[in-house]
Amino acid sequence: MSLFVDPDRCAGHGACVATCPAVFGFTDDGFAEVLVATVPDDLAGFVDQSIRHCPEQAIRTADPAE
């Protein structure tokens, strides 16, 4: 699974960073960014939780094969 944060939706709440800091971090502007090219299998549950709890629905999954 690969991920991206929609910059038009992210409001910088940081819930994703708190839930899964190995995958999400903050840009210099205070918005979220994805730190990894692909999500390690052992973090998939935390990422799913981050996606579901993002207040702005800003976290999207992308299939690298598409």
Q: What residue ranges bind ligand SF4 (CB under 6 A)? A: 5, 10-16, 32, 54-56, 58-59
| Least separation in angstroms between CB 6 and ligand SF4 | 8
Minimum CB distance to ligand SF4 smaller for 47 or for 58: 58
**Structure tokens of 15?**
């819930």
Asked if 6 and 32 count as a contact pair (C-beta separation under 8 A), the reply is: no
Residues in the chain: 66
Provide, rounded to whole angstroms, the least separation between the CB of residue 60 and ligand SF4: 10
Alpha-carbon distance of 53 to 7, in angstroms, equals 17
Distance CA 45, CA 16 (A): 12
Q: Which is nearer to ligand SF4, 16 or 47 (CB)?
A: 16
- How near is the Cβ of 59 to ligand SF4 at its closest, in Å? 5
